[in-house]
Structure 1
Amino acid sequence: MAGNPRNGRPYRRLVDWLRSQRLPCWLCGHEIGYELDARHPFSFTLDHQVPLSKGGSLLDPANARAAHRRCNSARGNRTATRPPQRASRRW
């Protein structure tokens, strides 16, 4: 396949399918601004539960999750959804 596979019809179809579900962010649990400009930090992006760099599938709907742009970028290619919680010093 020539070019970027994320510009292809199957990938765009997957993004449209996920967007139509209007799910909350799978990382933080808050609502996503589906009507926001794509460059906005709280806009919708497709995140892969298993990152592509770790062997995740680009087009598998089971690997696709709705996320805020900011949450998706902060997660990077880590597989854990949240860093471990530190115990409070105040008991």
Structure 2
Amino acid sequence: MAGNPRNGRPYRRLVAAVKATGLPCWLCGHDIDPALDARHPLSFTLDHLVPLSRGGSLLDPANARSAHRRCNSARGNRTSIKQPRASRRW
């Protein structure tokens, strides 16, 4: 396969389909503003439940999740997600 598979039509179609669902970030639970510039830390990115470096499928819709750019970057290629810390005031 020549080139970057993330530039292909099937991948762009998957990104558009996941973005169109309007689901919140699966990592932090907050809404994602679709109007933000792609470089903004709170913009939409497609995250993979099983990271590609760990054998996850690039084009499987069951492996695709909505995430903020910042949340996706912070998670890296870990399979577990960091749970938010509980507040001391409860």
| Deviations 1:67-91, CA, capped at 9 Å, x for gaps | 00000000000000115859x7xxx
Stretches (4+) displaced over 6 A: none
- TM-score, normalization: structure 2? 0.91
How far 1:3 moved relative to its partner?
A: 0.1
- TM alignment of 1:1-91, pairs within 5 A: 1-82=1-82
Instruction: Give distance in 2, aligned partners of 1:40 and 1:85.
Output: 25
Q: How many residues align?
A: 87
Unpaired runs of 5+ residues, structure 2, are none
Query: Percent identity at matched positions?
Result: 75
Q: 1:23 to 1:8 in 2, by over 3 A?
A: same
Give the letter aligned to residue 22 of structure 1.
G
Structure whose CA Rg is larger:
1
- TM-score, normalization: structure 1? 0.90
Instruction: Give distance in 2, aligned partners of 1:53 and 1:11.
Output: 17
How far 1:33 moved relative to its partner?
A: 1.3
